[in-house]
Chains A and B, each alone.
Chain A
């Protein structure tokens, strides 16, 4: 049955999907690059957090502080040495390179960590819940949604109020003119991908604390993230949050009717939104 509780769960799940999607949305907004390895990079970050947490004996929330700069460096290097070489009018090379990367990351993780599923142990916070009205709401899902809102707020502030954000927007609008103004697009792109992977690390810590993960789950996360971005409208970060919530709601409602339908109803919601509003709910850019 679809109850108020189901709807609440759906909205909270949407927070996680918005976190998956924020990095994708950021990179697409700035350089029109769709990173097919985004889901696998999130899983990679989750393993990195797992390793840091177990080696240094840290709580996942502290381990992510160590993992985030590492992931920033990974993003920077990836963009500088690989992705910048394939950006251009032809869409094929970046797509195929990121697809190749996705397969490489998945199988490298499989080689290194086996197919066994892992989990980030978060301690007591995992099981705590709050009473809101007549509903019991888990602290962890609530924290996820709050983090998603904070991340998106911060990215928006960065975009619209800082010099770096101005450079992002300028490069996105017209890379050639931006270059004339002394901006180096390749460096801007490297920072953007680095930032996207910092967001991916934050997504990873919640992914890993919420449920089990293994090397093969990346592509499915990519699909949810992508659906959230498209439903929200390309280039709109708050739209991405809304899109994540739409997918989260659809999935929880589907699962409430029949557990096997969870993913299916999410996909169908995506198709329906796109049939009714081809440019998403809050379209910003004309692409």
Chain B
């Protein structure tokens, strides 16, 4: 492949992404409120998808229990606002932290289970969390509870945005949650890229490709995987708190829904390309279009998503993005490092004797 054309390709992609990101940030200034709300949904789904992709696609941890973190984040923010009277923005942070804390014992338990059994083990733990949330009488038990009216209105920053954009309070709230979701998604994306390009990230992919070989060169799989698991708890917890701040009502079944917070997310990642960084973005885009096209069909839509996921696993395991990269060789965000260039032995400069000793 021609390196210089790849470089131009990459710099134009770079410019394009800066333009897109800038537009996304500026959107609340001119776009109608429904667009902002829609994009909020897309961005939060993207955050969930990127987290699950890190777990399953890179760390080899196929979890079916990520709804635990969404639910815990949601319940934590409701507790922070309703029971402790804190600002919702602080509540979001608490949601993330509590979810990350919960990930520690969850990892301790589920990491005893191998591969497929890990998947159902995480599911069981999430179900325990759901049932336990249903026993929390102060937050409505099994029937759940709502945020008091006006909670989001008094949120830090809403007034400033209201004046800045010259819109209603509700629209200002939407803009604020949208910006938070956008920042969360961007930070997660950049952090994932830097992490995967780093030494530890390389170790992680080495584990996925061959655990024994990775271990033999000194990579500690359990520690890295546990770190990813806990960090994903943080990311998903933040996202869950944010989503339910927007929904303003929480019930155990909605907050810990395996379909909404795990099944959709899995399909998004599988369709987009599992184990590729842009995969979740592509998947979310496809998912959003499908949803627009078929929202009226309800169950049929889910059947089609399921069949699509199965079809991709059977015929194009690396999803849309992975297949695109394989076909065209255009990897815009390569996670691989170039092999050290090696010329023939004759081309090597003669080594000074001292250097060979050192």
Contact = CB atoms under 8 A, between A and B. Distances in A.
Interface of A: 32-34, 36, 82, 85-86, 91-97, 99-104, 106-108, 110-111, 219-220, 222-223, 226-227, 230, 260, 263-264, 267-268, 270-271, 274-275, 278, 287
Determine which residue in B112, B117, B132, B305 has the highest number of CB atoms from chain A within 10 A of its CB, and name it.
Answer: B117
A218 B258 CA distance: 13
A93 B135 CA distance: 36
Given A86-B313, A104-B303, A267 B116 contact: no
Contact of A100 (B135, B274, B313): B313
B300 A287 contact: no
A260 B141 CA distance: 11
B314 interface: yes
A260 B134 contact: yes
A213 B229 CA distance: 35
B259 interface: yes
B124 A223 contact: yes
Nearest to B116: A34
B115 A263 contact: no
A227 B302 contact: no
A145 to B, nearest CB: 24
Contacts of A106: 302
B127 A107 contact: no
A103 B302 contact: yes
B48 interface: no
B65 to A, nearest CB: 11
A209 B134 CA distance: 29
A119 to B, nearest CB: 22
Contacts of B115: 34, 91
Nearest to B311: A100
B6 to A, nearest CB: 29
B270 A96 contact: yes
B128 A267 contact: yes
Closest 8 CB pairs between A and B? Answer: A34-B116, A104-B306, A103-B306, A100-B309, A91-B115, A100-B310, A107-B299, A264-B131
A99 B266 contact: yes
Interface string B52-75: 000010001010100000000000
Nearest to B105: A271
18 contacts: A34-B115, A91-B116, A96-B266, A96-B270, A96-B309, A97-B314, A99-B309, A101-B306, A103-B263, A103-B305, A104-B302, A104-B303, A107-B302, A260-B135, A264-B128, A264-B132, A271-B109, A278-B112
Contact of B131 (A97, A230, A263): A263
Contacts of A268: 128
Interface in B186-243: none
A111 to B, nearest CB: 5
A275 B124 CA distance: 14
B314 A260 contact: no
A67 to B, nearest CB: 23
Contacts of A264: 128, 131-132, 135
Nearest to A258: B135
B214 to A, nearest CB: 15
Contacts of A102: 306
Contacts of B127: 220, 223, 263, 267
Contacts of B112: 274, 278
A97 B313 contact: yes
Given A94-B116, A96-B313, A104-B303, 19 more contacts: A32-B116, A36-B64, A91-B60, A93-B317, A95-B119, A100-B306, A103-B259, A107-B300, A226-B117, A226-B120, A230-B117, A260-B135, A260-B142, A264-B132, A267-B127, A267-B131, A274-B109, A275-B109, A287-B114
Contacts of A85: 314
A267 B300 CA distance: 32
A100 B307 contact: yes
A33 B117 CA distance: 10
B261 interface: no
Contacts of B256: none
B299 to A, nearest CB: 4
A95 B62 contact: yes
A159 B56 CA distance: 35
Contacts of A270: 124
A247 to B, nearest CB: 11
B267 interface: yes
A267 B266 contact: no
